[in-house]
Amino acid sequence: MAVGKGWEGVVLKLMGAKDFTFTVTGTQDVTANYRRVHLSDGGLLAAAGKSVHPTMWVRLWFQKEGRPHQRAYTLVDPDPARGTFTLEFALHDGVASAWARAAEPGDTIEASIQGTGFTAPAPEPERLLVIGDPASLPAINSLLDAYPRTPATIWFETQHACDAELPVRLDPDRHDIRRVERGASAGANLVERVKAQLPELVADPASAYVWLACDAGTTRALTAYLRKDLALPRQRVNGLGYWRVA
């Protein structure tokens, strides 16, 4: 699907973005609201070389009403040797979800990579404290994969009953998942639960590590709480607003 990238594409190019074309090789419906799209990478992983990292993401370009729209998605199970990876879509109303629902083998999608990165916490945390939702599940899984021997507590916000079926890569001996229904509260339930439960898991703010990626408002609220109220250093909190409430 060839699309113009508009002024955003120009800015990204000036900032050193590299462009690639991905090709759909297959799809899988995980639940009624969550879909996998398998792709060949158009040379992306070979170009990235040793810089492939946990939570690595790319910008996909979509066209709607004659205008380009870009959305960011995390690479799932990137395989540099085969030049393949998967993208996972938490489906809702929107241009990216519409593309994912209709995707078939042979379809193509343009992508840019610029700005992705991951700084491993040092010292390595004794426990990962992770806060997310279906949109950030691919990044959560990549983080759990990157620290296979590290215990983790995960607060996972859900919106649909079938979200309980989502493939969180849990090790029952090391991982504790705490699901929180979003409801109509716009993240308030999640914020309340984290504030009630997370402090007891932070023995030393300087060595704790929290990774969170929710809607932008929830991420801002929790990041402020972790930094100001719990006094976690900036480098021990990795907060990303993955989407905005309509």
Residue-wise pLDDT for 73-128, tens only, equals 999 999 999 999 999 999 988 999 999 999 999 999 999 987 667 788 888 999 99
Average pLDDT, integer, range 141-167: 94
Q: Is the pLDDT of residue 131 over 50?
A: yes
Maximum separation of any 2 CA atoms in the chain, in Å: 53
CATH code 3.40.47.10 for 6-113: no
Outline which parts of the chain fall under CATH 3.40.50.80: 128-243
Question: What pLDDT does 1 receive?
Answer: 43
Write the CATH number of the domain with boundaries 128-243: 3.40.50.80
What proportion of the chain, given as a percentage, has pLDDT over 70?
Answer: 91
pLDDT digit string (tens) for 38-61? 999 999 999 988 788 999 999 999
Average pLDDT, integer, range 135-147: 95
Helical pair 188-197 and 216-224, crossing angle rounded to 10 deg: 30
pLDDT digit string (tens) for 190-232? 999 999 999 999 988 888 999 999 999 999 999 999 999 999 9
The encoded tokens of residue 16 equal: 């050193």
Question: What pLDDT does 241 receive?
Answer: 81
Q: What angle do CA 194, 96, 77 make, to 5 degrees?
A: 65
Measured CA to CA, the distance from residue 54 to residue 120 in angstroms comes to 9
- What mean pLDDT, rounded, does the chain reach? 90
Amino acid at position 89, single letter: F
Question: What pLDDT does 3 receive?
Answer: 55
Outline which parts of the chain fall under CATH 2.40.30.10: 6-113
Question: What pLDDT band is residue 2 in, cutting at 50, 70 and 90?
Answer: very low
Measured CA to CA, the distance from residue 111 to residue 99 in angstroms comes to 14
pLDDT digit string (tens) for 8-19? 655 555 456 689
